[in-house]
Copies of this chain bind each other. A is one copy, B any other.
Amino acid sequence: MDKILRINMTTQEVKVEPVPGKYAALGGRALTSQFVLDEVEPTCDPLGPFNKLIYAPGLLSGTSAPSSGRLSVGGKSPLTGTIKESNAGGISSQKLANLGYKAVIVEGQAPKGEFYLISITPAGVKLEPAGDLTGKGGYDTVALCREKFGQKVGVIFIGPAGEMLMANAGVGTNDGEGNASRYAGRGGLGAVMGSKGLKAIIIDSPTTFDVPVKDPERFKAAARKFAKILLDHPVCGSGLPSYGTNVLMNIINEAGTLPTRNFRFGRFDKASEVSGEKLAEVAVARGGKATHACHPGCVMRCSNVYPMPNGKVCAPIEYESAWGFGPNLEVSDLDDVAMMNWLCNDIGLDTIDAGATLGVLMEAGVIPFGDGKAAIKALEEVYTGSPLGRIIGSGTTFAGKLYGVTRVPTVKGQAIPAYDPRSCRGNGVTYATTTMGADHTAGYAVTANILKVGGFVEPTSDQGQIELSRNLQIATAAVDSTGLCLFIAFAVLDNPEGLPTVVEMLNAMYGTSLTTDDVVALGQSVLKNERAFNAKAGFTKADDRLPEFFYNEELAPHNTKFALRDELDEVFNF
């Protein structure tokens, strides 16, 4: 990974540059955030010519390190106004890395209404008009690209929502079977891609695991050891591979922190009907799969393949998506949930914010709570760009503003996901303070709060939550830089061999002599960069708070409110 690909959509110039020394030790989120800080004016219009979009494999992507195929996408977010890194599985990260690209930087913008595609192959890089891909949904886009460029290509794409510049549009990629369903969904980077006039990037690489490694034997040993560490952990080796992330539905419901009816209650009496267990049963009965890997070399295989009665296939249904379209809307029909998920994949919307948006529209009385069919119909309007479609595609905060709703579950413009902050307070600290706008993956305190992974911190107490979230946010920023899936954290938190083995893989690959302290330092420096960008963009501690109603409304069954305010300013004490 010794090249950077820089494409200017205004001039149509395609340049391959060497990697400046400053960026050599960075990958994934560390790299995209550094580029954004260095090259994007923090007050620029996210959809204007001065924003940039950066795609980067992680430090370990494209090697045999298990579960290391995450692709980071970075830029300034039109949803939050903050810096944004959103990452996804799928096969594009490994292919980019195997072609030697450390990052792809897209800048400028094509003339309004024109769309292009970039193909990156061993033969070179080509920028060409997107032609009949323009206007196509995610599924057709990937199918057409595979038809034209070969069945093994990775496709990074946007759906109609991204083309229409909707603030909740995500950046999609495909898995090995061509499912257009792995999303760097959060924060509207799909609209940034749309604003550049870029419909898709096609990546064709003959290899997947052959990124050069300094000491192959040492690397192989460390990777083998790391795979065993993952497989030995009950979550990584057993829970996730059995039922996928939606194994959480019953657990979070039982814990009383499953946001129900737009965060009105902490339990949903029909949660089991949309749970991972139920999903696995129905999927398998219909010829789908309860378990499935989103990229080659993943040992956790937390994905799934869910055939719907209408003949379409949704792959996968993640827990947070099932929550957003299920309990959050008081919808308990799994096929309705799957259809909403499928629609978001096709339209190109983030499922978490789409679910939360529908919840706010139900709060406003535009759609009845519990009416899955009405929610599907509303979601379908996004294709047409009708006023309601625009409202839905623009995310939760704008929908709330337009209907004068005060119960709007967002921080810095981005929707709070599937764990209520009042009874999973570590996550509440993360939602409030992360540089990304509300994001569970930025510091997933469900571990210690609910799952008793990495210790236990009482979820309805304020005690210990600041420190818990801080440490998780630092660790996450580091993990997001390696290309490793965040789910390795379950094993790393519980197994003292975990982190040293990640460091061993990095040292074997790069010939470095990093320590575990260096990994912590990397995570801290990523967060500092992101905070610096946000401060220049105008964010202050006033933005590091939860919405008013979490402080004033009790959540059943624990009858608890969120109370942390000024303490939140202590999260970033480094």
Q: Which chain A residues have a beta carbon within 8 Å of chain B's beta carbons?
A: 42-45, 47-48, 50, 78, 164-167, 191, 194-195, 386-388, 390-391, 394, 398, 401-404, 406, 536-543, 545, 547-549
Please, which residues of chain B bring their CB within 8 A of the CB of A195?
404, 406
Inter-chain CA distance A48–B404, complex, in Å, is 10
Across the A-B interface, give the 6 residue pairs with the lowest CB-CB distance, nearest first: A165-B404, A538-B542, A387-B387, A387-B388, A390-B402, A538-B540
Please, which residues of chain B bring their CB within 8 A of the CB of A398?
398, 401-402
Evaluate whether A45 and B548 lie within 8 angstroms (CB atoms) in the complex, with A403-B165, A404-B165, A543-B538 already known. yes
A542 touches B165 (CB 8 A): no
Please, which residues of chain B bring their CB within 8 A of the CB of A165?
403-404
B47 touches A406 (CB 8 A): yes
User: What are 7 of the A-B contact pairs (CB < 8 Å)?
Assistant: A47-B406, A50-B548, A191-B404, A387-B402, A398-B401, A538-B540, A538-B543
Please, which residues of chain B bring their CB within 8 A of the CB of A538?
538-543
B391 touches A402 (CB 8 A): yes
Residue of B nearest to A162 (CB): B404
Contact check: which of B391, B536, B545 meets A542 at CB < 8 Å?
B536
Please, which residues of chain B bring their CB within 8 A of the CB of A387?
386-388, 390-391, 402
Please, which residues of chain B bring their CB within 8 A of the CB of A541?
538
Please, which residues of chain B bring their CB within 8 A of the CB of A390?
387, 391, 402-403
Residue of B nearest to A366 (CB): B387
A45 touches B402 (CB 8 A): no
Inter-chain CA distance A391–B399, complex, in Å, is 10
Contact check: which of B44, B166, B537, B543 meets A404 at CB < 8 Å?
B166
Please, which residues of chain B bring their CB within 8 A of the CB of A43?
542, 545
B548 touches A537 (CB 8 A): no
Contact check: which of B48, B388, B543 meets A548 at CB < 8 Å?
B48
Please, which residues of chain B bring their CB within 8 A of the CB of A164?
404
Please, which residues of chain B bring their CB within 8 A of the CB of A45?
406, 547-548
Residue of B nearest to A393 (CB): B402
Known: A50-B548, A165-B403. 4 other contacts (CB 8 A): A48-B549, A387-B388, A398-B398, A538-B543
Inter-chain CA distance A78–B401, complex, in Å, is 8
- Most B C-beta atoms less than 10 A away, residue of A42, A167, A194, A403: A403
- Most B C-beta atoms less than 10 A away, residue of A398, A406, A545: A406
Q: Output the least CB separation between A282 and chain B (Å).
A: 34
- Most B C-beta atoms less than 10 A away, residue of A166, A542, A547: A542
A44 touches B542 (CB 8 A): no
Inter-chain CA distance A44–B545, complex, in Å, is 11
Inter-chain CA distance A548–B387, complex, in Å, is 26
Please, which residues of chain B bring their CB within 8 A of the CB of A542?
42-43, 536-538
Residue of B nearest to A381 (CB): B387
B44 touches A548 (CB 8 A): yes
Inter-chain CA distance A194–B545, complex, in Å, is 26
- Most B C-beta atoms less than 10 A away, residue of A166, A195, A540, A541: A540
